[in-house]
Amino acid sequence: MKEKVVLAYSGGLDTTALIPWLKETFDYEVIACCVDCGQGNELDGLEERAKLSGASKLYIENIVDEFCDEFIMPCVKAGAVYEHKYLLGTSMARPAIVKALVKVARQEGATTICHGATGQGNDQIRFELGIKALAPDLKIIAPWRMTDLWKMGSRDDELAFVEAHGIHLPFDHSHSYSRDRNLWHISHEGLELENPANEPNYAHMLVLSVTPEMAPDEPEYVTMTFEKGIPTSLNGQKMKVSDIIKELNVLGGKHGIGITDIVENRVVGMKSRGIYETPGGTILMAAHEQLEELILDRDTMETKKKLGSQFAQIVYEGKWFTPLREAIQAFVDVTQEYVTGEVKFRLYKGNIIKAGTTSPYSLYSESLASFTTGDMYDHNDASGFITLFGLPLKVRAMKMAELKKQETR
């Protein structure tokens, strides 16, 4: 009886070529597993293609709601943004995919999981750290690093390989970007983006969005409610998180929101340039922050900001299934206990413009913040506060002046 390998299958060129390659190279029975994180029409025709390529079975695991509730929302609540710009669309999807792959491997009694991530990128780390954490007994095959066995060095080589095996793909990769898509975002790499000196060809590239220049000339108001940091309604309609993100993607894409050109530092040490479209995610992150700033006290917000940056790095580096991620997430969940209320904003040509925020837990005091502060705040108290707050500066300045005087004697 042949050993079984579960292949992380997208239906693209790389993973299509992997099916016959795994059979010929290792004599495996190949179980293809496509994990649906909201890729949309990319899933069309997958079953026929997988079987035609030689897979004995195809699983399509729909985890859209799990992805939103258990992976996206912890990152939103943490305010996790990698290197100030990247909203972790691919990074947080990988552990969700790994969880599904391990589940299928257990169901099938497979001994091995195979992924098609290259030896230059971050995804190989994310896939393999996740597998090691959830199923340390399973073997891992990463063909792009097996240069003694994997002889295809380019997409042209892969196209020739699949054609030779009678697999005719309904698309041409020779003039397209390398993309990764899920409900949260779509990323674009390759072609002119490989040179940071080049301006992106947005007219050819964008899938979810239009550029701000092409967005409507009229703004659009949006209202959202949150309960304990989680979005619960959009424009007065109660919705689950996945549906809210879908609707925000449409709204954000229409108004040119969330198009980001990034040169990021990969885990493996190189810099990489890409364009990310995250229309709904950008709006959701901004709306959550708009509410949160009304509710969190200064010290909690400052600590959360630092831990949010660390949380982003943990997720980016593929360390989702770690005690540290769990611990930071537990802290974040405590901070979200009172992040409940309503936010209103305008979308206009790439901008998210605040239009009002309310919460029963708001720490904003109009009487304190206004120029007529009333009984709760005595302006004279500031004098003593500033004296003590500035005491270290004054003491140091006096000491430096004394030393300077001694040097001139």
258: alpha, beta or left? (left if phi > 0; alpha if psi -120 to 50): left
SS3 at position 201: coil
Pick from 319, 310, 275: nearest CA to 85: 275
Tell me which residues are annotated as active site: 14, 94, 123, 178
Q: Could you tell me how many residues make up the chain? A: 409
Report DSSP letters for 114-153, one per residue: E----TTSSHHHHHHHHHHHH-TTSEEE-GGG-TTT----
Cβ atoms of 28 and 4 closer than 8 Å: yes
Contacts of 77 (CB under 8 A, 6+ apart): 229, 230, 288, 332, 333, 335, 336, 339
Pick from 115, 189, 113: nearest CA to 145: 115
Pick from 183, 346, 178, 181: nearest CA to 250: 183
User: How is residue 349 annotated by DSSP?
Assistant: T
Pick from 308, 154, 340, 329: nearest CA to 229: 340
